[in-house]
């Protein structure tokens, strides 16, 4: 897959999958045996259903969830996307009851690609900033 194809694929993932909740996009973007690494979640996400569940959980907690892409760096085997995500906490977020507060944090994803789909991914985001903005930690 070319770098431009990878960029287009992940723009579609963010715009249609994460921002609009179109979970069918997940099948186009991620391999069936996909593994995701998240330092905030000791259990790695694996497979399409876990990715769909994760996006659905985020959209339940933050129905107005909106990712904005700032940078994309890609080659035929990797893509890195730097983004900002914002929303309003109106639903349960991994056991945290709704606060009604708005948030905006930055983060990055790195995906390893094979046969036109993501096979492994890593995320880094400002979880401390998120918790502060939700009023769960002192500023």
In a domain, 107, yes or no: yes
- With 0.95 as the threshold, say if the pTM is over it: no
- Res 40: pLDDT: 80
How many domains does the chain contain in total?
1
- Res 3: pLDDT: 94
Q: How many residues does the chain have?
A: 139
In a domain, 113, yes or no: yes
Contacts of 3 (CB under 8 A, 6+ apart): 74, 75, 76, 79
98: left (phi over 0), alpha (psi -120 to 50) or beta: beta
CA–CA separation, 103 vs 88, rounded Å?
6
The stretches in the chain having pLDDT less than 70 are: 42-45
- Res 41: pLDDT: 74
Q: Which domain holds residue 23?
A: 3-133
User: Residue 123 sits in a domain of what CATH number?
Assistant: 3.10.450.50
In a domain, 138, yes or no: no
In a domain, 139, yes or no: no
In a domain, 90, yes or no: yes
């Amino acid at each position: 897959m070319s770098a431009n194809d990878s960029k287009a694929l992940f723009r579609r993932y963010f715009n249609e999958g994460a921002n609009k909740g179109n979970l069918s996009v997940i099948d186009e973007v991620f391999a069936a045996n996909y593994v995701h690494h998240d330092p905030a979640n000791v259990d790695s996400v694996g497979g399409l259903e876990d990715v769909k569940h994760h996006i659905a959980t985020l959209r339940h907690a933050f129905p107005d969830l909106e990712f904005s892409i700032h940078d994309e760096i890609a080659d035929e085997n990797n893509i890195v996307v730097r983004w900002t995500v914002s929303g309003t906490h109106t639903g349960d977020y991994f056991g945290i009851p709704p606060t009604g507060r708005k948030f905006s944090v930055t983060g990055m994803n790195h995906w390893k690609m094979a046969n036109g789909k993501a096979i492994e991914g890593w995320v880094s985001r400002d979880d401390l900033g998120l918790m502060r903005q939700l009023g769960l930690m002192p500023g």
